[in-house]
Amino acid sequence: MDFVGFFRGIKQAMMDIYLNPGVIEVIVEHLFEFWYEYNVRILTAAQGRLDILFFSEDMGGQDGLLVSKKILKKFVFPKLRKYAELAHKYNAMAMLHSDSLAAHDFGQEYKI
């Protein structure tokens, strides 16, 4: 969702999630396709010499999540899971960075 905010502005992106979810779905899918292919090319060129595939998604702030868990499960987690699967396909570890208390908010409830 970070990159969606760059294109739509964070306020508009947050409104779109609830008012125009189709717009968000299209943007998220296009961005995901671009970054997924980008990472495939890097991992392929590295020929097994990369240990970690790093990706980032800020899901919350200091006070908790920016959007509901339901929204994260719909728009964010499936893409993060695909990045993790990509890393593992190339024998690399997946490393997720998130500036938030998101991990605390989810605990063991949801594993990518």
Encoding tokens for residue 16? Answer: 């779109």
Of the candidates 11, 31, 9, 10, the one whose C-alpha atom is nearest the C-alpha of residue 75 is 31
- At 47-100, the pLDDT tens digits run 999 999 998 887 777 777 888 888 888 988 999 999 999 999 999 999 988 876
- At 16-40, the pLDDT tens digits run 999 999 999 999 999 999 999 999 9
Encoding tokens for residue 102? Answer: 């998101």
**pTM score:** 0.83
- At 87-105, the pLDDT tens digits run 999 999 999 888 765 555 5
Encoding tokens for residue 12? Answer: 């508009």
Give first-to-last CA distance, the chain, whole Å.
16
What gap in Å lies between CA 84 and CA 92, rounded to an integer?
Answer: 9
